Copies of this chain bind each other. A is one copy, B any other.
Amino acid sequence: MPPMTQDSRVAAALRDDILRGQYRCGERLPSERDLAQRFGVHRSTVREAFKRLAQLGVARIAPGGARVAPIDEASLDVVEHLLALDDPPDPDIVDQAIEAISGFRAMAARLGTERATPEQRAYLLDLLVSMRQTELGHAERAELVFALGEAFVEASGNMVLRLMAKGLRMRPEQTRAGYEVFDDPTTRAEAEAQLAALSRAIEAADGALASESTFGLSRLFRLNLRERAQEPHRS
């Protein structure tokens, strides 16, 4: 869908190389002229790719040579690419992302619950009712969980939150396994309890309770997902 231009191709290749750790932090990348020859493009095309890498925060480009930037100078946007690097991605990265998303959802739930209009509140409760239906495939449930997060962000009316959410979206197939918590009777009961608490929180505009129950729910997903990731693949 995105027009595959040459400069984006080059940028993607270099970005993935960097994120994969092919160049140590601080190490000099090949020169623009070298890369131009290697990729069979003009130097100005490589320069455009470099500008994107610099904006992404993975490279620092300066006279004398472009160098790999320390990871903590990167933009939040790199997370998306880190998760897309391999298939399956590094389970460690996935777990950290899920954990961050759990925390973020708790935060969105709090702010959203405190600010929601009556209509938004009704919609949120609607989503929760849907989620408690017995017969739901993992895909449908994943969609509801996603929609719930988006609804909280929307209800918060906070643009910064929206931008954060954008940087934290994961591909559905990477989270789907988490929803198996609804298959096991024990974990299902706990999930149901958290959903009930979340409903009460929304009705009462209780941000703290919304935050807690959302985090508890996300933790169930996360722990389940981590167990699944540690099992040997059966495909």
Chain A interfacial positions (CB closer than 8 Å to B): 3, 7, 44, 47-49, 51-52, 54-56, 62-63, 71-79, 93, 96-97, 99-100, 103-104, 106-108, 110-111, 156, 158-164, 166-168, 208, 211-212, 215
Given contacts A52-B51, A55-B55, A211-B211, contact A78 B161 (CB under 8 A): no
For A56, the chain B residues whose CB sits under 8 A away are 55
The answer to whether B44 and A166 have CB atoms under 8 Å apart is no
Which residue of chain B is the closest to A92 with respect to CB atoms?
A: B159
The answer to whether A163 and B72 have CB atoms under 8 Å apart is yes
User: Chain copies in the assembly?
Assistant: 2
Closest 5 CB pairs of A and B: A103-B107, A100-B160, A55-B55, A51-B51, A52-B55
Q: Which of B106, B164, B167, B211 contacts A100 (CB 8 A)?
A: B164
